[in-house]
Amino acid sequence: MRASRDAAALIALGALPAFGDARELRFQSNPFRFGVASGDPVPDGVVLWTRLDGQVLERAGALRLHVPVQWEVSEDERFRRIVRKGSQLAIPELGHSVHAEVGGLRPGRHHWYRFTAGGEVSATGRTRTAPAVNAAIDRFRFAFVSCQSYENGYFTAYRRVAEEDLDLVVHLGDYIYETATMGPERAVRLQEAGGELFTLDQYRARYAHYKTDQDLQAAHALFPFVVTSDDHEVKNDYAGATELSGVSPEQFLLRRAAAYQAYYEFMPLRRVAMPAGPNMRLFRRLHFGNLADVHVLDTRQYRTGLSCGGGRKPQCEEALGRTQEMMGPEQEKWLMDGMRASGARWNLLANQVLIAQLVQMANDTPTFSMDNWDGHVQARARLMKFLAEARPANPIVMTGDIHSNWVADLKVDFNNPSSAVVGTELVGTSISTGGDGDDSTRPQVLALNPHIKFFNNRRGYVRCTLTPSLLTSDYRTLPYVSRPDAPVETRATFVVEDGKPGATEN
Ligand code: FE
Ligand code: CA
**What's the angle, vertex CA 498, arms to CA 446 and CA 463, rounded to 5?**
60
Ligand nearest the Cα of residue 238 is 2
Exposure string for 254-267, b = 16+ CB within 10 A, e = fewer = ebbbbbbbbbbbbb
Helices (H), 179-322: 200-210, 214-222, 249-266, 317-320
Q: Residue 5's pLDDT is what?
A: 47
Q: Which residues pair with 292 in a beta bridge?
A: 288, 346
Beta carbons of 122 and 440 less than 8 angstroms apart: no
Question: Among 347, 484, 463, 362, which Cα is nearest to 405's?
Answer: 463
Q: How far is the CA of 317 from the centre of ligand 2 (A)?
A: 24
Note the pLDDT tens digit of each residue in 129-152: 999 999 999 999 999 999 999 999
Q: Residue 22's pLDDT is what?
A: 59
Q: What is the DSSP pairing of strand 97-102 with strand 45-51?
A: antiparallel
Q: Residue 21's pLDDT is what?
A: 56
Ligand nearest the Cα of residue 429 is 1
Q: How far is the CA of 131 from the centre of ligand 1 (A)?
A: 32
Residue 23: pLDDT band with limits 50, 70, 90:
low
363 CB neighbour count, 10 Å cutoff:
6
Q: Residue 193's pLDDT is what?
A: 82
Distance CA 377, CA 383 (A): 10
Q: Residue 432's pLDDT is what?
A: 98
Q: How far is the CA of 440 from the centre of ligand 2 (A)?
A: 22
Q: Residue 333's pLDDT is what?
A: 98
Distance CA 245, CA 178 (A): 14
State in Å, rounded, how far the first CA of the chain is from the last one: 62
Q: How far is the CA of 429 from the centre of ligand 1 (A)?
A: 9
Stated pTM of the model = 0.95
Q: How far is the CA of 300 from the centre of ligand 2 (A)?
A: 10
Ligand nearest the Cα of residue 149 is 1
Mean pLDDT score of the chain: 95
Ligand nearest the Cα of residue 236 is 2
Single-letter amino acid code for the residue at 178? E
Q: How far is the CA of 401 from the centre of ligand 2 (A)?
A: 4
H or E element, residue 333: helix 328-341
- Average pLDDT of span 50-59: 97
Residues belonging to the chain: 506
What is the percentage of the chain residues whose pLDDT exceeds 70?
A: 95
Give residue 505's Cα distance to chain centre: 27
Q: Residue 24's pLDDT is what?
A: 81
Note the pLDDT tens digit of each residue in 384-428: 999 999 999 999 999 999 999 999 999 999 999 899 999 999 999
Q: Which residues pair with 110 in a beta bridge?
A: 128
- Domains in the chain with CATH codes: 1-139+178-290 (2.60.40.380), 411-472+479-506 (no CATH)
Q: How far is the CA of 236 from the centre of ligand 2 (A)?
A: 7
